[in-house]
Amino acid sequence: MEETIRFYAESTNEETTSEVCPVDVKKELLKECDNIWKELEEFQSKLMLPGIETLLQSDTKLALLLLQWKALTVDYQEWHERSPETISTNPDVLLELGKEELQKVKSDLEKVLSAVCSKNKQLEEDLEREQQWYEEQEQMLNTLNRIEEETKLQVEQLYETRGLEELHNKMLKLKTYKRELLSALGEFLDEHFPLPQGGRSAINKNFSPEPAVELLALQDILEILINKLMATPHEPYVTINESFWPPYIELLLRFGIALRHPEDPNRMRLEAFHK
């Protein structure tokens, strides 16, 4: 290729270079090739003749093969040791050969360029499809995340609603149980700890015209103590007034149900059994 380019440059610098028809160039090349082939045939025949004269009839075929092998070996060594030469030294012929070679290279490069463009187009189409698929997957993921958030909120609201309902039901059950317990306690206390006869205390020993204070039942006293303890656990003491029948107070204190204030004997509170 370098020799072709060099001869092409030399030929373009010559002012007297004449245009050569491609048909004449081919004829000249064929003529030179025929001459070179004839020379090769003459050399081959000269190499074969000396060995044929001294061979015996029985070993003729083997000897011919050996001579051919030796001749080919010599030719191979010669062609291997020397660098190839140009067939023709005519610059016009070399110029045409260079043009043909460049045209072949151009054609091969155009084929490669066409294949690369086709491959790039295919890659662009694949990239576009992959981007579209990625966008679809991203939209689907966003939709699923939104649905998950909405479902989570609904589940939390449902749990809260169920928790409130369960708490409300428990409160109703506790209130019902409380009423039943108080009712049972009242029946028990009315049966075993009734109020004194007439329900009034003989507080007024001087028989004053003012009516005596109405006494509270034991159940009422216990309810007052319980409500006070639950409402104000930090200050559970209740002041003992005239409506508290002393035997009931003594009963509660003796059995440890109620306790007096350590500093004020007129106040008492319910024992904190729930702690």
Q: Please tell me the distance from the alpha carbon of residue 238 to that of residue 241, in angstroms, as a whole number.
A: 9
Q: pLDDT value at position 11?
A: 45
Q: pLDDT value at position 70?
A: 84
Q: pLDDT value at position 194?
A: 80
Q: pLDDT value at position 264?
A: 92
Q: pLDDT value at position 187?
A: 85
Average pLDDT over residues 100-127: 93
Q: pLDDT value at position 188?
A: 86
Lowest pLDDT segment from 66-75, 97-106, 114-123: 66-75
Q: pLDDT value at position 201?
A: 46
Cα-to-chain-centroid distance, residue 269: 66
The kind and range of the H/E element at 76 are helix 60-81
Instruction: Return all residues near 68 (Cβ < 8 A) that are at least 6 apart.
Output: 48
The answer to whether the CB of 63 falls within 8 A of the CB of 55 is: yes
pTM assigned to the model: 0.38
Q: pLDDT value at position 259?
A: 93
Q: Please tell me the distance from the alpha carbon of residue 270 to that of residue 228, in angstroms, as a whole number.
A: 9
Q: Please tell me the distance from the alpha carbon of residue 69 to that of residue 63, in angstroms, as a whole number.
A: 10
3-state class of 264 per DSSP? coil
Q: Please tell me the distance from the alpha carbon of residue 2 to that of residue 98, in angstroms, as a whole number.
A: 10
The better pLDDT of the pair 67, 177 is held by 177
- Of 48-62, 180-194, 206-220, 224-238, give the range with the top mean pLDDT: 224-238
- pLDDT tens for residues 128-143? 999 999 999 999 999 9
Q: Give the strands of the sheet with 258-260, arranged side by side.
A: 238-239, 267-270, 258-260
Phi, psi of 25 (to 5 degrees): -65, -45
Instruction: Return all residues near 242 (Cβ < 8 A) that are at least 6 apart.
Output: 201, 203, 213
Q: Position 79: which residue type? A: W
- pLDDT tens for residues 176-216? 998 898 888 888 888 888 876 654 444 444 434 444 678 88
Instruction: Return all residues near 225 (Cβ < 8 A) that are at least 6 apart.
Output: 236, 238, 258, 268, 269, 270
Q: pLDDT value at position 20?
A: 47
Answer left, alpha or beta for residue 166, where phi above 0 means left and psi between -120 and 50 means alpha: alpha
Q: Please tell me the distance from the alpha carbon of residue 155 to that of residue 160, in angstroms, as a whole number.
A: 9
CA 121, 126, 131, 132 dihedral sign is: positive
- Of 7-11, 40-44, 169-173, give the range with the top mean pLDDT: 169-173
Band the pLDDT of 116: cuts 50, 70, 90: very high
Q: Please tell me the distance from the alpha carbon of residue 239 to that of residue 267, in angstroms, as a whole number.
A: 4
Does residue 16 surpass a pLDDT of 50? no
Q: What is the mean pLDDT of the chain?
A: 78
pLDDT cut 90: percent of the chain above it: 33
